[in-house]
Structure 1
Amino acid sequence: MTPSLKTKIIEVCDKKIAKKGTDVGISFYAFFKNKNDNPELLMEAATWWIQTHQLDHFEKVVKIRELVQG
């Protein structure tokens, strides 16, 4: 995973946790605008989410942040 995507995921997770708490669910689409303006980055996130970790569509935000932080 590229450092820029990793940073973006952690930032989004932190914002979700601050706003809605630790029980909130998140999907990899949360890291992108509704407009597909960076398909390569979207595919990188999808590959990490679906193929590498075989995650469900929605996962707990804290789980995702922990996976990314390693």
Structure 2
Amino acid sequence: MHNQITPGNTRHVATLFHQEQNVSQHRNTHQSAAMHAALLVRSQYSRESKSQFRRECLDHLKASLAPVQKASA
């Protein structure tokens, strides 16, 4: 069998792996921030503070589901 990988294929695989890592890190970062905001909701006394942390939690959850935006140079 022929098991050699052409140079062009390794770069493509490495790029896909790097993109997957970015997506995973993006998702984990936003989900952690959402959990933090959710935990802060219950320690708040005012309705405004609770609403603020609920919005923050939902914003981070939505961001964790959104595709990763490529950073512009």
Asked if these proteins are the same fold (TM beyond 0.5), I'd say no
TM-score normalised by L of structure 1 = 0.32
Larger proportion of helix: 2
Q: Tell me which of the two structures has the higher relative contact order, counting C-alpha pairs closer than 8 angstroms and 6 or more residues apart.
A: 1
| Greater Cα radius of gyration, structure 1 or 2 | 2
Return the structure number with greater strand share: 1
TM-score (norm 2): 0.31
